Chains A and B, each alone.
Chain A
Amino acid sequence: MSRCRISPGLAVLAALALAACAPAPGKGLFKRQPDPTAGIPEPTSGRYLALQQVQAPALQVVVEDRSQRDLMLFSHRLDGVELWYGRDGVQLGLRDGMLAYTRGIGGDLMAADTRQSHALLASGQSGTAKRFHSHLNGNDQIETDSYICDIRRVQDFTLAIGEARVPTWYMVETCHGPDLIFENYYWVDRRSGVIQQSRQLANPFSGRVAFQRVLS
Chain B
Amino acid sequence: MSRFSGAVITECMSSRPVRLVCCIAITGLIGSGGAAQDQQQARFTILDRPTLTFMGDVGLIDMPSADSMADADVTATAMYANNILRTVIQFQVTPRISGIFRYAVLNDFLPDSGTLYDRSFDIRYRFLDETRHRPAFAIGLRDFGGTGVYGSEYIVATKGVGDRLRVSVGIGWGRLGSYGGFSNPLGILADGFKSRATSGNNAGELDFGEWFRGDAAFFGGIEWRATDRFTFKFEYSSDAYEREADPMGFTHKSPFNAAVSYRFDNGIDLSAAYLYGSEIGVMLNYTFNPKTPRIPDGIDDGGPSVVPRDVAAARSWGLDLSDDGASPASRASMQARLAQQLEAEGVILKSFRIEGRRVIVHIRNDRYDAPTQAIGRTARALTSVLPPQVETFVIVPIVASMPVSAITIQRSDLEELAFDLDGSWKSYARADIAEGSPYRLRREDYVPGAYPDMRARFGGYLVPSFFDPDSPIRIEVGAELVAAYTPRPGIVFSGALRQPIAGNLDDATRTSNSVLPHVRTDIVEYEKESELEVSYLTGEYFFRPGDNLYGRVSVGMLERMYGGISAEVLWKPVEGPLALGGEFNYVRQRDYDVLFDFRDYEVATGHLSAYYDFSNGFLGQVDAGRYLAGDWGATFSLDREFANGVKIGGFFTLTDVSFDDFGEGSFDKGFRFIVPLSWLTGEPSQRGFGQTIRPVLRDGGARLSVRNRLYEITRRLHDPELKERWGRFWR
Interface centre among A4, A110, A113, A139 (most CB of B within 10 A): A139
Q: Which residues of A contact B370 (CB under 8 A)?
A: 140
CB pair B731–A108 under 8 Å, yes or no, is yes
Q: How far is the CB of B427 from chain A (nearest CB, A)?
A: 11
CB pair A50–B318 under 8 Å, yes or no, is yes
CB pair A104–B419 under 8 Å, yes or no, is no
The stretch among A33-41, A141-149, A159-167 that forms the contact with chain B is A141-149
- Chain B count of residues within 8 A CB distance of the other chain: 73
The stretch among B5-13, B235-243, B532-540, B563-571 that forms the contact with chain A is B5-13
Q: Which residues of A contact B7 (CB under 8 A)?
A: 11-12, 14, 204
The stretch among B102-110, B304-312, B401-409 that forms the contact with chain A is B304-312
Q: Is B18 an interface residue (CB 8 A)?
A: yes
CB pair B423–A103 under 8 Å, yes or no, is no
Complex CA distance for A124 and B707, rounded to whole angstroms: 65
Q: Which residues of A contact B299 (CB under 8 A)?
A: 106
CB pair A83–B301 under 8 Å, yes or no, is no
Binary CB contact string for chain A from 53 to 89 against chain B (1 if under 8 A, 0 otherwise): 0101000000001000000000111111101011011
Which residue from A17, A76, A136, A144 sits with its C-beta under 8 Å from B312?
A76
CB pair A1–B1 under 8 Å, yes or no, is no
Q: How far is the CB of A148 from chain B (nearest CB, A)?
A: 14
Q: Is A2 an interface residue (CB 8 A)?
A: yes
Q: Which residues of B contact A101 (CB under 8 A)?
A: 418-419
Q: How far is the CB of A127 from chain B (nearest CB, A)?
A: 16
When C-beta atoms are compared, the residue in chain B nearest to A88 turns out to be: B301
- In chain A, residues 171-205, which have Cβ atoms closer than 8 Å to a Cβ of chain B? 172, 177-181, 183, 203-205
Q: How far is the CB of B386 from chain A (nearest CB, A)?
A: 16
Complex CA distance for A144 and B425, rounded to whole angstroms: 12
When C-beta atoms are compared, the residue in chain B nearest to A3 turns out to be: B13
The stretch among B36-44, B60-68, B211-219, B354-362 that forms the contact with chain A is B36-44
- Chain A count of residues within 8 A CB distance of the other chain: 80
CB pair B421–A113 under 8 Å, yes or no, is yes
Interface centre among A88, A132, A140 (most CB of B within 10 A): A140
CB pair B6–A138 under 8 Å, yes or no, is no
Which residue from B3, B6, B310, B316 sits with its C-beta under 8 Å from A54?
B316
CB pair A142–B22 under 8 Å, yes or no, is no
- In chain A, residues 11-27, which have Cβ atoms closer than 8 Å to a Cβ of chain B? 11-18, 20-21
Q: Is A207 an interface residue (CB 8 A)?
A: yes
Which residue from B1, B293, B421 sits with its C-beta under 8 Å from A134?
B421
CB pair A2–B424 under 8 Å, yes or no, is no
Q: Which residues of A contact B724 (CB under 8 A)?
A: 140
Q: Which residues of A contact B727 (CB under 8 A)?
A: 110, 136-137, 140-142
Interface centre among A11, A56, A80 (most CB of B within 10 A): A11
CB pair A89–B301 under 8 Å, yes or no, is yes
Q: Which residues of A contact B305 (CB under 8 A)?
A: 75, 83, 91, 103
Interchain pairs with CB closer than 8 A, number: 235
Binary CB contact string for chain B from 2 to 31 against chain A (1 if under 8 A, 0 otherwise): 111111111111110111011110101011
Q: Is B610 an interface residue (CB 8 A)?
A: no
When C-beta atoms are compared, the residue in chain A nearest to B290 turns out to be: A139
Q: Is A8 an interface residue (CB 8 A)?
A: yes
Q: Is B302 an interface residue (CB 8 A)?
A: yes
Q: Is A95 an interface residue (CB 8 A)?
A: yes
Q: Which residues of A contact B418 (CB under 8 A)?
A: 78-79, 81, 101
Complex CA distance for A12 and B21, rounded to whole angstroms: 12
Which residue from A8, A18, A75, A137 sits with its C-beta under 8 Å from B3?
A137
CB pair B419–A78 under 8 Å, yes or no, is yes
- In chain B, residues 384-429, which have Cβ atoms closer than 8 Å to a Cβ of chain A? 415-416, 418-425
Complex CA distance for A197 and B305, rounded to whole angstroms: 25
CB pair B419–A79 under 8 Å, yes or no, is yes
Q: How far is the CB of B75 from chain A (nearest CB, A)?
A: 18
Q: Is B82 an interface residue (CB 8 A)?
A: no
Q: Is B728 an interface residue (CB 8 A)?
A: yes
Q: Which residues of B contact A142 (CB under 8 A)?
A: 424-425, 727
Q: Is A51 an interface residue (CB 8 A)?
A: yes
Nearest 3 CB-CB pairs, A to B?
A17-B21, A204-B6, A104-B302
What are 24 of the A-B contact pairs (CB < 8 Å)? A7-B10, A11-B43, A12-B9, A14-B26, A15-B30, A16-B21, A75-B305, A78-B313, A78-B418, A86-B302, A89-B302, A106-B297, A110-B727, A134-B422, A135-B3, A137-B727, A138-B295, A138-B296, A139-B644, A140-B728, A143-B2, A179-B4, A183-B21, A204-B36
Add 17 more A-B contacts to A142-B727, A145-B4 (CB < 8 A): A2-B14, A10-B11, A11-B4, A18-B21, A50-B316, A50-B318, A51-B316, A78-B308, A101-B418, A107-B297, A111-B422, A134-B424, A136-B727, A140-B370, A141-B643, A172-B21, A179-B4
